[in-house]
């Protein structure tokens, strides 16, 4: 293949095939980036345009130390991007993975996390500000961040009392994945999801180890708000959860291994995991419950006690660079509220209904509410459900 063809557009199927050949190691990174055209920018960065992204960043970063620690979620980053950051800046990235905002909050409350960057979800940020666990961002140190390119409703939760505490990472939905080879019926609602869990798919269903989504979608069974803190409504949800508990395969926010091995047939799931699973195993589908559920946006933020502040800013700035960000999306499949980045995505991704669901499905979704994070009853119901 001549280099001239490298940036020619390719079909979704070809793209995915190439991605897999690349992931399996049968083609080189360069070949993959070239053929797909996806990472054209990365290729350019490496060769033709010094000073724009690569070396420029390294220079601006100066000496940021040899490490930076990030707390994020499962299957939510591109190892190649992280490797590229390390190569340019000299800072290795220590990654910890969490399955719920509560877990991150608990760690920060206990202190001594050593995190430089973490990834909170929209509804948690005001609480972090109240508890004085997070620091306002110095936007002059994030030149790649430009508010005007972002979708307004996904950027707003990052600003509390007029100060920017967090910049958007990705947005997405919470629905469920199901394996069509194993499940014959065609659930389209949360009611059907929970009924299947007790019936046809008994002992093959997973739910998140995360109160917001697990309790929230159980509330949806009864048509209540995803964010309800009403004791009676939560009582109904708990009853449902306890009924389902013996039928579950597992309670875990990383459901990809279970779904891939065939142990689990269905799971509450986020956009990107749905896309990643569907990409590798077309029989796995991602469905949004018709009653609604969660729409969310995640952010990059810096904890109050971050030990490596320079490295934290350098990492965030690197990751929100549209080109880097696009390569990130290519791997994890979560949409980005940054129009510059979306413009770089291949059409196959922007047309993908998992990433960009139909408007009427999106309309039914709710943002998580801040009160759910600290509501003692929701916390206790989740804990009781797990210990049951």
Partner 1 sequence: MRLYAAAIYLFLYGPIALIVVFSFNAGRHAASFECCGTSWYGRTFNNQFLLEALYTSLLVAGTTAILATIMGTMAALALQRVRGPLRVVYDAMTYIAIIIPGIVIGIATLVALVTAFDAINPLLAALWPGGAKAAPQLGLGYASVIAAHTLFTMALVIVIVRARIQGMDRSLIEASADLYATPWRTFRQVTLPQIFPAVMAGFLLSFTFSFDDFIIAFFVAGSKTTLPIYIFSSIRRGITPETNVIATLVLGVSLTLLISAQLLMRRRAGAAGSN
Partner 2 sequence: MMKRAGIRSGNGVTAMLLLPTTLWFLLLLVMPLVVILVFSFGERAPAGGYQAAFTFEQYLNLPARLKAFTNTLTLAPLGTLICVLMAYPLAYYLAVRAGERVKVMLLVLVIVPFWTSFLIRTYAWIYILGGRGIPQLLELVGIEDVRLINTPTAVLIGIVYGYLPLMIFPIYVSLEKLDKRLLEASGDLGASPWRTFLQVTLPLSAPGLVTGSLLVFILLMGEYLIPALLGGGKVFFVGNALVDLFLQSRNWPYGSAVAIGLVAIMMVAIAIYLAMVGRQQARDDVSLV
Identity of the residue, 59 or 386, whose beta carbon is nearer to partner 2 in the bound complex: 386
Q: Do residues 160 and 125 touch, judged by C-beta distance below 8 A?
A: yes
Q: For the CB of residue 380, give the shortest distance to partner 1 in the complex, in Å.
A: 18
Q: For the CB of residue 123, give the shortest distance to partner 2 in the complex, in Å.
A: 14
Identity of the residue, 254 or 366, whose beta carbon is nearer to partner 1 in the bound complex: 254
By CB under 8 A, is residue 254 in contact with partner 1? Answer: yes
Cα separation, 167 vs 102, whole angstroms: 20
Place of tokens 């990809």: 256
Contact footprint for partner 2 (CB under 8 A): 100, 102-103, 105-107, 109-110, 127, 130-131, 203, 209, 211, 245, 248-252, 261-263, 374, 376, 379-380, 382-384, 386-388
The alpha carbon of 155 is separated from its chain's Cα centroid by a whole number of angstroms, namely 15
Contacts of residue 146, defined as CB under 8 A and 6 or more positions apart, other chains included, come to 340
Question: Could you say which residues in the range 316-345 bind partner 1, by CB under 8 A?
Answer: none
Place of tokens 């994020």: 72
235 binds, among partner 1, partner 2, none (CB under 5 to 8 A by kind): none
Cα separation, 146 vs 155, whole angstroms: 11
Tokens of 114: 């050593």
Q: Do residues 169 and 178 touch, judged by C-beta distance below 8 A?
A: no
Which one of residues 2, 3, 4, 25 is an interface residue with partner 1 (CB under 8 A)? 25
Residue 199, number of CB atoms within 10 A of its CB:
11
By CB under 8 A, is residue 225 in contact with partner 1? Answer: no
Instruction: Candidates 18-26, 36-44, 133-141, 223-231: pick the segment binding partner 1 (CB under 8 A).
Output: 18-26
Q: Do residues 142 and 255 touch, judged by C-beta distance below 8 A?
A: no
Tokens of 96: 């910890």
By CB under 8 A, is residue 131 in contact with partner 1? Answer: no
Tokens of 163: 């100060």
135 binds, among partner 1, partner 2, none (CB under 5 to 8 A by kind): none
Identity of the residue, 60 or 379, whose beta carbon is nearer to partner 1 in the bound complex: 379
Instruction: Candidates 20-28, 41-49, 174-182, 219-227: pick the segment binding partner 1 (CB under 8 A).
Output: 20-28
DSSP 128: H
Cα separation, 170 vs 338, whole angstroms: 9
Is beta strand 266-270 parallel, antiparallel or unpaired with respect to 248-251? unpaired
Backbone φ and ψ of 217, nearest 5°: -80, -20
Which one of residues 260, 263, 356, 364 is an interface residue with partner 1 (CB under 8 A)? 260
Question: Could you say which residues in the range 45-74 bind partner 1, by CB under 8 A?
Answer: 66-67, 69, 74
Identity of the residue, 111 or 353, whose beta carbon is nearer to partner 1 in the bound complex: 111
**Helices and strands: H and E segment counts in the chain:** 20, 12
Q: Do residues 321 and 146 touch, judged by C-beta distance below 8 A?
A: no
By CB under 8 A, is residue 307 in contact with partner 1? Answer: yes
By CB under 8 A, is residue 179 in contact with partner 1? Answer: no
Identity of the residue, 1 or 110, whose beta carbon is nearer to partner 1 in the bound complex: 110
Which one of residues 261, 358, 359, 376 is an interface residue with partner 1 (CB under 8 A)? 261
By CB under 8 A, is residue 17 in contact with partner 1? Answer: no
Q: For the CB of residue 257, give the shortest distance to partner 1 in the complex, in Å.
A: 7
Backbone φ and ψ of 361, nearest 5°: -70, -40
DSSP H/E element including 95: strand 92-97
Q: For the CB of residue 145, give the shortest distance to partner 2 in the complex, in Å.
A: 29
Q: For the CB of residue 178, give the shortest distance to partner 2 in the complex, in Å.
A: 16
Nearest alpha-carbon partner for 376 in 215, 209, 174, 158: 215
By CB under 8 A, is residue 75 in contact with partner 1? Answer: yes
User: Which residue ranges make up the site for partner 1 (CB under 8 A)?
Assistant: 23-25, 66-67, 69, 74-75, 92, 94-97, 110-115, 254, 256-257, 260-261, 307
């Amino acid at each position: 293949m001549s280099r001239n063809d490298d940036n020619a557009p390719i079909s979704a199927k070809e793209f995915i095939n190439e991605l897999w050949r690349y992931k399996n190691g049968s083609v080189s990174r360069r070949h993959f980036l070239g053929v797909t055209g996806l990472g054209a920018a990365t290729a350019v960065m490496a060769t033709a345009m010094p000073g724009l992204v690569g070396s420029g960043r390294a220079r601006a970063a100066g000496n940021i130390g040899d490490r930076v620690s990030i707390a994020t979620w499962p299957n939510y980053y591109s190892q190649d991007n992280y490797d590229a950051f390390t190569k340019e800046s000299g800072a290795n990235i220590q990654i910890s993975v969490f399955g719920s905002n509560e877990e991150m909050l608990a760690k920060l409350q206990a202190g001594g996390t050593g995190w430089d960057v973490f990834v909170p979800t929209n509804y948690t940020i005001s609480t972090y500000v109240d508890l004085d666990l997070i620091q306002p961002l110095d936007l002059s140190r994030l030149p790649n961040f430009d508010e005007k390119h972002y979708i307004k409703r996904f950027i707003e939760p990052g600003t509390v009392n007029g100060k920017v505490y967090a910049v958007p990472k990705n947005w997405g939905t919470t629905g469920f994945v199901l394996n069509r080879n194993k499940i014959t019926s065609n659930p389209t609602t949360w009611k059907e999801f929970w009924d299947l869990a007790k019936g046809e798919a008994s002992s093959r269903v997973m739910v998140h180890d995360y109160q917001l989504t697990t309790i929230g979608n159980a509330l949806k069974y009864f048509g209540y708000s995803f964010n309800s803190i009403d004791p009676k409504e939560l009582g109904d949800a708990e009853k449902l959860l306890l009924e389902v508990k013996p039928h579950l395969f597992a309670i875990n926010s990383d459901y990809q291994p279970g779904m891939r091995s065939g142990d689990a047939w269905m799971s509450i799931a986020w956009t990107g995991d749905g896309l990643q699973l569907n990409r590798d195993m077309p029989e796995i589908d991602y469905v949004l419950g018709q009653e609604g559920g969660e729409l969310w946006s995640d952010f990059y933020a810096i904890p109050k006690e971050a030990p490596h502040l320079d490295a934290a800013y350098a990492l965030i700035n690197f990751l929100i660079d549209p080109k880097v960000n696009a390569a990130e999306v290519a791997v994890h499949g979560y949409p980005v509220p940054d129009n510059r980045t979306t413009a770089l995505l291949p059409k196959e991704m922007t047309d993908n209904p998992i990433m960009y669901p139909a408007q009427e499905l999106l309309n039914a979704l709710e943002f998580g509410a801040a009160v759910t994070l600290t509501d003692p009853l929701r916390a206790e119901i989740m804990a009781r459900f797990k210990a049951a």
